[in-house]
Chain A
Amino acid sequence: MTEPLLEAEDLTVQYETDGGMVTAVSDASFVINEGEFFGLAGESGCGKSTTAKSIIGGLDPNGQISSGTIRYRGKEIQDYTEKQFNEELRWKEIAWIPQSAMNSLDPLQTVSEQAVEIGTVHTEMSETELREQLKEMFSIVGLQESRINDYPHQFSGGMQQRAVIALALFLEPSLIIADEPTTALDVIMQDQIFKHLDEIKEKLNTSLLLITHDISVIFESCETVAIMHASQLAEYGSVDAVYANPRHPYAFMFKEAFPDVREPDRDLEVIEGYPPQLGDEIGFCSFVDRCPWATEECREAAPELEPVDDDDPRHVAGCFRKDEAYEMYQSNRLSSQSGDSTTAITSEDD
């Protein structure tokens, strides 16, 4: 086995607020391998961005890693200082494509000036070399090389997004963390960007931690998916395993909530209620108030991630009833579909 690129183990991240401690990530464990596209999904506020920021030391000032470890190529980095992150990891090992990529370029500098500045801080490369590297990335993301000397406002929205991606990639990092990189874009532009990311992966064997609320994008573009609900990792495994054999009630309901243009008539799942307030300790399943299969047990302790019995050895789910809930769900869905039609008939009779 080769060494994993990134490992998070029992990661807990908290924010200090006026109302007390808020736990944004609770006991999360996952592994990202070299050349792997890893998707992290869940609804807004579930802790996706916090997870990502904790990996590169980018938490807001009131946030902290309270417990757990993060290892990059085997080396613990959860206690790294700003200086260590800058010298060893940022840009050249781990690059970041932020959620609002559009605003992340400095409007007063050309893209190549920004690149040279970053490159001079983080590498030994000369200015000419840096410009050459940036040009190469521009052409990979489908921008004209000559445009490296443009100011951000000279690009359209979609081009800016690609310029940001080129900038994140130009020092050839091993891991890219992209937080909702295409959420503001239309599907065609989104597809163009993923086409470039596919190419980059092929050429450079780069890994990607893709954060998105859109599981369709992950199912299409990633090998691995992790689904989070209110600070807890509900389930993770290969996209095929999680798709075919989901175990955590949030995971399978979430998956069924997504529309599929191939089946425009399918009933979409609706997940009632909303996530709980997250205090200092999350000693329960955070899905308990919304889960149709919840029992008392689910309020008394937080479920641990446990292996799911299928042919994906990495597939785990954190639910006390993971072996029964999905079966009940499926038989329920079938009977409620036939139930629906009977109600329709009766009401027409009235």
Chain B
Amino acid sequence: MTGKPPLLEIRNLRKYFEQNSNIVDMLLRREPNQVQAVDDVSLTLEENESIAVIGESGCGKTTLLLTLIGLHDITDGEIVYKGKSISEFDKPDWKRYRRNVQVVFQDPFNSLDPKMTIEETLQEPLKIHGIKNREKRVRDVLEHVELNPPEKYLHKKPRNLSGGEKQRVSIARGLILEPDIILADEPVSMLDVSTQAAVLKKMKELIEDFGVSMIYISHDLSTVSYISDTVNVMYLGRIVETAPTEQILADPKHPYTEELVSAVPIPDPSHDRQRTQMSGAPRDPVNLDEGCRFRDRCPAVIPPDDIEISQEAYREIIEFRELLQRDEVAFERVMNTIDKSYPDDRKMAKAIREDYFTHDLTGENGAVLNEALIAFANEKQDVAVKRLQERFKSICETTPPTVEDENGWCVACHHYDQNVADLQVEQPKTAQSD
């Protein structure tokens, strides 16, 4: 190893926003909510490397990118470019950084100025940075992105180009300043599949030819292998797994990555893929507590050591408790199913249990659930939540540490607390306790 610092290092980066309050919040003078868009993210980008950040919409990918280019203040943590933190940048540093870090946006239809010709579009950044020899550079870069011959394109306006051609122009604009880093936000998601492949291939070649590094941001796992060697999987503001692309596709470790990979459709009718077992959507990243961000949907959420309960039964409890905490239990609907002439909290608790729980719970587990439901039936929601929390506390309610193996494979999940390799996959499916 040389002593040279990485090209770009993101250290424990946080970006929180204050959520706009609605009218009710204002009337009640509530504190504004914290949106935890990027929450303790660390990434390293080496020279000539292409890494991907993959996650569902809303997971914080675009906020991460905008923070990287200085469009958002940093809430906490550091972005270090060639050894210098951007919080210490002076004006010339910023100018150098802006030139060396370029963005290719998702939508080629909106990111090009419709009034400018391709030549004007590509000359503009050169002018801004006072670079000479502009005509030659424009031609060269057009050739590189395979808009050949350049004369055919120089005087066209964006509306006369196909989607694939427009995206090539955006890439050319990203490259023309010969940056060190390209940040690409869903660069091919608006393109038809027949051009997607070509554009991705081209980007990959350019990384190699120009010695550029890239952070590729996308929700799409199916094409990531064509562009990035390493994948970071992001969920609700955090990176949950990092690994070499081919390995993560073949053998995802984190329960969320597993779900994500297994939900990718396979273009082969004879392949029998199981539909996802997940329900619901990610939570809003608002006022999150400690703990694993995925625990309300995680099929492998870990029951406490000191009680005996099957994985499925435990999942139901955790899911129900989340609904309870978010005030989303359909009380009225369930009440409509019972005879309301004698409001009896036991009857109500039973009805809720029958509605929300398919697994039998006996012994202490069953007793605690019943107490909680009776509390809920008596409109003591807090008591209900507390009761369930006490008995059914999961280690997943604490933040999982990120563990790393010698090949740089990182996972943040309590199943891997010791070691990336050591998932005790099958949760104990023991009989009920008594």
Contact status B269-A220, CB under 8 Å: yes
Judge whether A271 is part of the interface by a CB distance below 8 angstroms: yes
CB nearest to B276 among chain A residues: A191
Binary B-proximity of A222-252 (CB < 8 A = 1, otherwise 0): 0000000000000000011001000000000
Contact status B193-A264, CB under 8 Å: no
Judge whether A254 is part of the interface by a CB distance below 8 angstroms: yes
Residues 206 to 252 of chain B near chain A (Cβ within 8 Å): 219, 221-223, 225-226, 245-246, 249
Contact status B261-A261, CB under 8 Å: yes
> Which A residues lie at the B interface, using CB under 8 A?
43-44, 142, 144-147, 156-159, 186-192, 194-195, 198, 213-217, 219-220, 239-240, 243, 253-255, 257-262, 264-265, 268-271, 274
Contact status B267-A142, CB under 8 Å: no
Contact for B279 among A142, A239, A269, CB less than 8 A = A142
Shortest A17–chain B CB gap in Å is 16
Q: What residues on B are CB-neighbors of A260 within 8 Å?
A: 222, 266-268
Q: What residues on A are CB-neighbors of B328 within 8 Å?
A: 144
Residues 235 to 287 of chain B near chain A (Cβ within 8 Å): 245-246, 249, 259-261, 263-271, 273, 275-276, 278-279, 281, 284
Shortest A226–chain B CB gap in Å is 14
Contact status B264-A187, CB under 8 Å: yes
Contact for B198 among A189, A213, A270, CB less than 8 A = A270
Q: Taking A156-B281, A158-B281, A270-B198 as contacts, is the C-beta distance between A190 and B275 under 8 angstroms?
A: no
The complex places the Cα of A43 from the Cα of B192 at a distance, in Å, of 6
The complex places the Cα of A190 from the Cα of B273 at a distance, in Å, of 14
Contact status A188-B269, CB under 8 Å: no
- A-B pairs with the 9 shortest C-beta distances? A264-B225, A268-B197, A271-B194, A216-B265, A43-B192, A216-B267, A146-B330, A239-B269, A186-B56
Show 20 residue pairs from A and B whose CB-CB distance is below 8 angstroms, ordered by the A residue. Answer: A146-B332, A159-B281, A187-B263, A188-B263, A191-B263, A195-B275, A215-B267, A216-B222, A216-B266, A219-B266, A219-B267, A220-B266, A220-B271, A240-B269, A255-B267, A258-B222, A259-B225, A261-B249, A268-B201, A269-B197
Secondary structure type dominating chain A contacts: helix
Q: Taking A146-B333, A240-B270, A254-B194 as contacts, is the C-beta distance between A188 and B265 under 8 angstroms?
A: no
> Which B residues lie at the A interface, using CB under 8 A?
56-57, 162-163, 192-198, 201, 219, 221-223, 225-226, 245-246, 249, 259-261, 263-271, 273, 275-276, 278-279, 281, 284, 328, 330, 332-333
Secondary structure type dominating chain B contacts: loop
Q: Taking A158-B281, A194-B275, A219-B269 as contacts, is the C-beta distance between A257 and B263 under 8 angstroms?
A: no
The complex places the Cα of A265 from the Cα of B12 at a distance, in Å, of 33
Q: What residues on B are CB-neighbors of A147 within 8 Å?
A: 330
Shortest A341–chain B CB gap in Å is 17
Q: What residues on B are CB-neighbors of A189 within 8 Å?
A: 56, 281
CB nearest to B261 among chain A residues: A261
The complex places the Cα of A257 from the Cα of B196 at a distance, in Å, of 9
Q: What residues on B are CB-neighbors of A220 within 8 Å?
A: 265-266, 269, 271, 273
CB nearest to B256 among chain A residues: A188
Q: What residues on B are CB-neighbors of A146 within 8 Å?
A: 330, 332-333
CB nearest to A274 among chain B residues: B162
The complex places the Cα of A270 from the Cα of B268 at a distance, in Å, of 19
CB nearest to B246 among chain A residues: A264
Contact status A259-B273, CB under 8 Å: no
Q: What residues on A are CB-neighbors of B332 within 8 Å?
A: 146
Contact status B226-A268, CB under 8 Å: yes
The complex places the Cα of A194 from the Cα of B263 at a distance, in Å, of 11
The complex places the Cα of A214 from the Cα of B196 at a distance, in Å, of 12
Contact status A214-B197, CB under 8 Å: no
Contact status A192-B279, CB under 8 Å: yes
Contact status A219-B260, CB under 8 Å: no
The complex places the Cα of A215 from the Cα of B330 at a distance, in Å, of 39
The complex places the Cα of A215 from the Cα of B269 at a distance, in Å, of 10
The complex places the Cα of A147 from the Cα of B328 at a distance, in Å, of 10
Q: What residues on B are CB-neighbors of A270 within 8 Å?
A: 194-195, 197-198, 201
Contact status B193-A213, CB under 8 Å: yes
The complex places the Cα of A147 from the Cα of B265 at a distance, in Å, of 30
Contact status A243-B162, CB under 8 Å: no
Shortest A228–chain B CB gap in Å is 13
Shortest A262–chain B CB gap in Å is 7
Contact status B269-A145, CB under 8 Å: no
Contact status B197-A264, CB under 8 Å: no
CB nearest to B334 among chain A residues: A146
Q: What residues on B are CB-neighbors of A257 within 8 Å?
A: 193-194, 196-197
* Apart from the given pairs A186-B57, A243-B270, 12 other A-B contacts in the complex at a CB distance below 8 Å: A159-B281, A187-B265, A189-B56, A190-B265, A191-B275, A214-B265, A259-B226, A260-B267, A261-B266, A262-B271, A265-B225, A271-B194
Q: What residues on B are CB-neighbors of A142 within 8 Å?
A: 279
The complex places the Cα of A107 from the Cα of B276 at a distance, in Å, of 30
Q: What residues on B are CB-neighbors of A261 within 8 Å?
A: 221-222, 225, 249, 261, 264, 266
Q: What residues on A are CB-neighbors of B222 within 8 Å?
A: 216, 258-261
Q: What residues on B are CB-neighbors of A219 within 8 Å?
A: 265-269
Contact status B192-A192, CB under 8 Å: no
The complex places the Cα of A153 from the Cα of B184 at a distance, in Å, of 31
Contact status A253-B194, CB under 8 Å: yes
The complex places the Cα of A219 from the Cα of B271 at a distance, in Å, of 9
Shortest B142–chain A CB gap in Å is 17
Q: Taking A43-B192, A146-B330, A146-B333 as contacts, is the C-beta distance between A188 and B267 under 8 angstroms?
A: no
Contact status B276-A243, CB under 8 Å: no
Contact status A262-B266, CB under 8 Å: yes
Contact status A217-B268, CB under 8 Å: no
Shortest A212–chain B CB gap in Å is 10
CB nearest to A142 among chain B residues: B279
CB nearest to A219 among chain B residues: B269
Q: What residues on B are CB-neighbors of A192 within 8 Å?
A: 275-276, 278-279
Shortest A131–chain B CB gap in Å is 12
The complex places the Cα of A259 from the Cα of B333 at a distance, in Å, of 45
CB nearest to B163 among chain A residues: A44
The complex places the Cα of A145 from the Cα of B386 at a distance, in Å, of 27
The complex places the Cα of A188 from the Cα of B299 at a distance, in Å, of 14
Contact for B221 among A44, A187, A191, CB less than 8 A = A187
Contact for B194 among A43, A145, A158, A195, CB less than 8 A = A43
Shortest A22–chain B CB gap in Å is 17
Contact status A188-B192, CB under 8 Å: no
The complex places the Cα of A220 from the Cα of B270 at a distance, in Å, of 8
Q: What residues on B are CB-neighbors of A265 within 8 Å?
A: 225, 246
CB nearest to B284 among chain A residues: A156
